[in-house]
């Protein structure tokens, strides 16, 4: 893919927008589908592969308006149906086309308080953009209206113009809601419960807020500043944050209700123990879970080698096992930390890779090499117990499995050696064991994920759960969707209680 500079893209948009401005509301669908899809401006691949600055730079006003004009304003809004938090997408996009950015922001905020984050990390191509009529008409999902980029544009515009509105909070109800974990699910619950006037406390085990948004997703994809700003909105609403607090250990989960007077709890403790391949050599020095590698680099700032006390492994040749977003993040981080060669080893093909398309494209531009239909057989160590190579096997695709993806089948005697000094395993996470270990009465499934009903309620009264601790490793937006559902149930429960209270002023 040719890299167009941000200036080239901006100039081009300025030039062509003139053609459409007079007929914003009068174009036929055919005309709209002919408007050129706007490419996301990005940092130069060579430059960015050695810095941590954000890769995607965001649309200019003209680019955003042109992209917005591509929307057909369908009557049947498949995009809204495919959005886990049901943002009224055509409506906010129409505002962008007319340069009514504040109104666009208001529409998004009806459904989501975290647009700057979602616009950046949601897998839009499998959600809102997957059934877009424009993409269908052009027979290419990549040519769907770039909803995510437009969402991000609005969030960035709000921040840049200082017009971030603090959502209204209803009068205090006197009810207390505890949220365990400050990741995406928890943040959504906090916002939704606080809006109803309940006192909300978020307990976070780490010293910084944001959960996976902070420790997992690198700054080049989601800058810390963005997370801080979105959390500032919650703080302005009066949400209380307690860091360095491990619910289950610092305080028992049920003690929050029994001793501290919380009326409801939401558990959003997120991903747990990283999974490993279970192959020979995985305990050698130089084998890391992606969680560990990324936490060191992101949360502990090991990227900043001059300042950070947390060390990170010096690597030359790195193999990353897996094909999801986390694998992409780890591979691209390794490159930025100075690795010469980074190989993503994935046992299926590019089509089956669960990572966001944009991340895969960016990774390729940055020189990450992809080894498809291959997988690690064993990791080989030197005399000091450090990784010196990895033996791999080649695969071919066989019959579809339960997930509908064609099952990779090993090709006999296809072993070969890959010379690497570092192996990063990014094949998913189990569940976090802390809550189940310390709350024996909580029902969990055989993988340790908390079992919830359709309102996200757990087996314990007043305690709800959502996000990765329920779903296993999923996405930010799915976690938010669960948070939204849990908050609705919590708000309903608390409202009913207030109603029943004899001294209720109503």
Q: Which residues bind other proteins (CB under 8 A)?
A: 205-208, 215, 243-246, 249-252, 270-274, 276, 282-286, 288-289, 291-292, 295-296, 300-301, 304, 307-311, 313-314, 384-386, 432-434, 437
Could you tell me the two tokens for 62?
């003209």
Residue 176 to residue 494: CA distance in whole angstroms: 9
Q: How far is the CB of 9 from other proteins (least distance, A)?
A: 35
Residue pointed to by tokens 């189940």:
436
Q: Which is nearer to other proteins, 97 or 227 (CB)?
A: 227
Shortest distance in whole angstroms from residue 271 CB to other proteins:
7
3 state DSSP class of 367? coil
- CA atoms of 238 and 345, how far apart (whole Å): 46
CB 186 within 8 A of CB 211: yes
Distance CA 380, CA 231 (A): 44
Q: Report helix, strand or coil for 242.
A: strand
Distances (CA, A) of 125 to 33, 83, 130, 140, 145: 18, 11, 5, 11, 10
Residue 207 CB, nearest distance to other proteins (Å)? 4
Q: How far is the CB of 75 from other proteins (least distance, A)?
A: 45
Instruction: Select 44 or 255, whichever has its Cβ closest to other proteins.
Output: 255
- In whole angstroms, what is the distance from residue 388 CA to residue 42 CA? 35
The answer to whether residues 480 and 462 touch, using CB atoms and an 8 Å cutoff, is no
**Residue closer to other proteins, measured from CB, 63 or 224:** 224
Nearer to other proteins among residue 288 and residue 464 (C-beta): 288
Q: How far is the CB of 270 from other proteins (least distance, A)?
A: 8
Q: 3-state SS string over 260-301? A: CCCCEEEECCCEEEECCCCCECCCCECEEEHHHHHHHHCCCC
CB-based contacts of 314, cutoff 8 Å, min separation 6: 338
Compute the least distance from the CB of residue 281 to other proteins, in Å.
Answer: 11
Q: Which is nearer to other proteins, 43 or 432 (CB)?
A: 432
Closer residue to other proteins, CB minimum distance, 95 or 214:
214
Query: Judged by CB, which is closer to other proteins: 38, or 269?
Result: 269
Based on CB atoms, which residue is closest to other proteins, 92 or 293? 293
Q: Which is nearer to other proteins, 91 or 251 (CB)?
A: 251
CB of residue 461 to other proteins, shortest distance in Å: 23
Residue 383 φ/ψ, nearest 5 degrees: -70, -15
The alpha carbon torsion through 19, 24, 27, 31 (nearest 10 deg) reads: 50
Taking the least distance from each CB to other proteins, the nearer of 41 and 248 is 248
Q: How far is the CB of 245 from other proteins (least distance, A)?
A: 7
Q: Which letter does DSSP use for residue 479 in this model?
A: H
Closest CB to other proteins among 8 and 250?
250
What kind and span of H or E run contains 194?
helix 184-195
b (16+ CB within 10 A) / e for 340-362: ebbbbbbbbbeebbbbbebbbbb
Cross-strand pairs, 319: 343, 423
Distances (CA, A) of 21 to 14, 15, 25, 100, 132: 11, 11, 9, 14, 23
CB atoms within 10 A of CB 160: 10
303: nearest Cα among 277, 275, 329, 280: 329
For other proteins, the closer CB: 367 or 433 = 433
- Least Cβ distance, residue 282 to other proteins (angstroms): 8
Least separation in angstroms between CB 35 and other proteins: 45
Q: Are 391 and 378 a contacting pair, CB within 8 Å?
A: yes
CB nearer to other proteins: pick between 203 and 372:
203
Nearest to 153 by CA among 75, 14, 57: 57
- Write down the least CB distance from residue 278 to other proteins, Å: 8
> C-beta of 308: minimal distance to other proteins in Å?
5
Give dist(CA 369, CA 321) in Å, integer.
Answer: 12
Closest approach, Cβ 242 to other proteins, in A, equals 10
């Amino acid at each position: 893919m040719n890299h167009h500079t941000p200036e080239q893209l901006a100039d081009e948009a300025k030039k062509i927008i003139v053609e459409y401005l007079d007929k914003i509301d009068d174009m036929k669908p055919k005309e709209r589908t002919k408007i050129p899809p706007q490419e996301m401006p990005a940092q130069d691949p060579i430059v960015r592969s050695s810095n941590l600055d954000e890769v995607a730079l965001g649309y200019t006003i003209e680019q955003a308006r042109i992209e917005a004009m591509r929307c057909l304003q369908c009557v049947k809004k498949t995009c809204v149906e495919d959005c886990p938090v049901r943002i009224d997408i055509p409506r906010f996009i129409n505002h962008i086309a007319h340069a009514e950015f504040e109104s666009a922001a208001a529409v998004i905020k009806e459904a989501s308080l975290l647009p700057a984050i979602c616009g950046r990390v949601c897998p839009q191509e499998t959600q809102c953009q997957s059934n877009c009529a424009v993409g269908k008409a052009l027979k290419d999902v990549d040519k769907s209206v770039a909803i995510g980029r437009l969402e991000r544009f609005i969030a960035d515009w709000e921040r840049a113009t200082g017009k971030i509105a603090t959502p209204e909070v209803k009068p205090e109800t006197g009810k207390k809601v505890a949220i365990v974990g400050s990741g995406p699910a928890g943040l959504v619950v906090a916002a939704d419960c606080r809006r109803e006037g309940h006192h909300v406390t978020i307990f976070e085990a780490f010293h910084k807020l944001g959960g996976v948004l902070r420790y997992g997703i690198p700054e080049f994809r989601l800058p810390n500043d963005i997370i801080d700003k979105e959390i500032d909105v919650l703080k302005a609403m009066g949400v209380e944050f307690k860091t360095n607090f491990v619910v289950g250990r610092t305080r028992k989960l049920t003690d929050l209700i029994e001793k501290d007077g919380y009326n409801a709890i939401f558990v959003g403790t997120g991903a747990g123990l990283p999974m490993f391949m279970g192959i020979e050599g995985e305990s050698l020095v130089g084998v890391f879970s992606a969680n560990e590698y990324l936490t060191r680099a992101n949360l502990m700032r090991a990227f900043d080698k001059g300042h950070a006390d947390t060390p990170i492994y010096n690597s030359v040749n790195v193999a990353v096992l897996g094909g999801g977003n986390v694998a992409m993040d780890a591979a691209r981080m390794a490159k930025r930390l100075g690795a010469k060669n980074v190989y993503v080893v994935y046992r299926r093909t590019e089509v089956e890779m669960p990572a966001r398309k944009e991340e895969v494209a960016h990774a390729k531009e940055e020189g990450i090499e992809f080894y498809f239909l291959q997988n690690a057989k064993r990791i080989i160590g030197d005399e000091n117990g450090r990784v010196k190579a990895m033996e791999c096997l080649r695969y071919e695709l066989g019959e579809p499995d339960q997930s509908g993806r064609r099952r990779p089948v090993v090709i006999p005697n296809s072993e070969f050696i890959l010379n690497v000094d570092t192996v990063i395993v990014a094949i998913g996470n189990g569940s976090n064991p802390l809550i189940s270990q310390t709350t024996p009465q909580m029902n969990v499934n055989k993988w340790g994920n908390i079992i919830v009903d359709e309102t996200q309620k757990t087996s314990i009264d007043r305690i709800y759960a959502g996000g990765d601790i329920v779903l296993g490793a999923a996405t930010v937006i799915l976690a938010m969707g669960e948070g939204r559902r849990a908050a609705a149930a919590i708000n309903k429960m608390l409202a009913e209680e207030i109603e029943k209270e004899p001294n209720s002023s109503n």
